[in-house]
């Protein structure tokens, strides 16, 4: 498998989508994306049915991420939230997610437990000094130099975000990720890219998703991710079909098409398992 770092160096911009479980990860790979992101927003929603406020634990996030890494061959970017504590906690988090197969981790500089910028107007961030210490801490335990550290700053003031970008890159971050609320146009992102001295990671939400062209994104971003399209697509399709199914008690006239069981069986791997059973399982007829 080509490393994420090699892909960024080769292509300039790696395009990814957000997965919330192993099935969505397989579908992202099938669609042809370069890489995928384990969306904390999506994992919290699908695993617990709760909002992305760091209610799930590090080990619960790790379980989903490990399953995703085992299910695909494209690079996996792991959302590790705040690192789940202080620099020492973040060191363990880095080791665990790297061991699980993540090609990169995204760690943000919010106070733990975090609040999702998509839904909360109040965002509390740690001091610059603590943010730098946490980046240095996770960099110190990185076993594979190809594993990338993506430092996300949730600073909403552009000048503060650029100040932190410079400091985090100097501390060992390979890529810097601003939140969509911080900048309002491509000029701001260009300034952030120049200040950071390293490529940006953009999660394409709000105006970033609606207003920027592909060319503009590729001008500043080493990684460009659609983090929530898979989750929101699945939610909408299931919501529509299940409502009709509950009311009509019939699946004959569902508003959204469904995959046939035959096609799904092929996609999920039953033929592969059948072949393995024929290769390795002992037939009862051969047992005396």
Residues with a known catalytic role: 116
Distance CA 95, CA 285 (A): 48
Q: Within 10 A of 6 (CB to CB), how many other CB atoms are there? A: 14
Q: Backbone phi, then psi, for 85, in 5-degree steps? A: 140, -150
224 close to 16: Cβ distance less than 8 angstroms: yes
Distance CA 189, CA 224 (A): 13
For the chain, the distance separating the N- and C-terminal CA atoms, rounded to the nearest angstrom, is 44
Distance CA 135, CA 90 (A): 9
Distances (CA, A) of 161 to 100, 101, 119, 187, 252: 30, 30, 20, 14, 53
83 close to 134: Cβ distance less than 8 angstroms: yes
Q: Backbone phi, then psi, for 249, in 5-degree steps? A: 55, 35
User: Two tokens at 219?
Assistant: 């001008």
Distance CA 286, CA 288 (A): 6
Listed in sequence order, the DSSP H helices in 155-282 are 158-171, 186-196, 206-211, 214-220, 229-248, 261-268, 270-280
Distance CA 68, CA 23 (A): 8
């Amino acid at each position: 498998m080509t490393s994420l770092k090699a892909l960024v160096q080769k292509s300039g911009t790696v395009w990814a989508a957000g997965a919330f479980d192993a099935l969505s990860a397989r579908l992202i790979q099938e669609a042809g994306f370069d890489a995928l992101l384990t969306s904390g927003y999506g994992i919290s929603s699908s695993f617990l049915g709760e909002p992305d406020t760091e209610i799930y634990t590090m080990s619960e996030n790790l379980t989903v991420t490990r399953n995703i890494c085992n299910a695909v061959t494209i690079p996996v970017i792991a959302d590790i939230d705040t690192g789940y504590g202080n620099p020492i906690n973040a060191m363990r988090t880095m080791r665990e997610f790297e061991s699980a197969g993540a090609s990169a981790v995204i760690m943000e500089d919010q106070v733990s437990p975090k609040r999702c910028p998509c839904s909360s107007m109040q965002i509390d961030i740690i001091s610059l000094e603590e943010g730098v210490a946490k980046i240095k801490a996770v960099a110190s335990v990185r076993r594979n130099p190809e594993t990338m550290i993506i430092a996300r700053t949730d600073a909403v003031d552009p000048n503060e975000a650029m100040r932190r970008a410079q400091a985090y890159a100097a501390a060992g971050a390979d890529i810097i990720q601003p939140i969509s609320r911080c900048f309002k146009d491509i000029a701001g992102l260009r300034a952030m890219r120049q200040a950071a001295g390293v490529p940006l990671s953009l999660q394409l939400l709000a105006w970033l998703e609606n207003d920027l062209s592909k060319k503009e994104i590729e001008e500043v971003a080493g990684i460009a991710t659609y983090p929530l399209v898979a989750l929101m697509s699945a939610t909408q399709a299931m919501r529509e079909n299940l409502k009709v199914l509950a009311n009509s008690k019939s699946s004959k006239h569902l508003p959204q098409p469904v995959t046939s069981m035959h096609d799904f069986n092929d996609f999920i791997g039953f033929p592969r398992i059948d072949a393995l059973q024929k290769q390795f399982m002992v037939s009862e007829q051969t047992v005396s």
